[in-house]
Amino acid sequence: MTRSQAHALLAEAEKRITGLVNLPHGRSLRVAEQFAVSAYDARFLGAAQIFKARLVTEDAHLRQAAPALTISLSDTLTASQRL
């Protein structure tokens, strides 16, 4: 497979596979670079940005890297009890 064929197939797959959150690979890469996290973690942070919500996670490294976008489960439960 040539490089151009691979790019064409990826573009076609991205058109066909739809989901709740569409986070382009380029944006995931920028988020990964911004927060110095893996591309996998960047997908979740990017979704949090799109939804303007905090990601509930027990991943301490991820919470440290992006505190404004993340929250621990215990902090979430504490906040919900105040409501």
pLDDT in tens, 41-71: 999 999 999 889 999 999 999 999 999 999 9
Helices and strands in the chain, H and E counts = 5, 2
Asked whether residue 15 is domain-assigned, the answer is: no
d(CA 74, CA 58): 9
Q: Is residue 46 part of a domain?
A: yes
Q: Which domain holds residue 41?
A: 22-81
Does residue 70 form part of some domain?
A: yes
- Count: domains in the chain: 1
Does residue 32 fall inside a structural domain? yes
Is there a domain that residue 35 lies in? Answer: yes
Whole-number Cα distances in Å, 48 to 2, 44, 69? 35, 6, 6
Q: How confident is the model at residue 15 (pLDDT cuts 50, 70, 90)?
A: confident
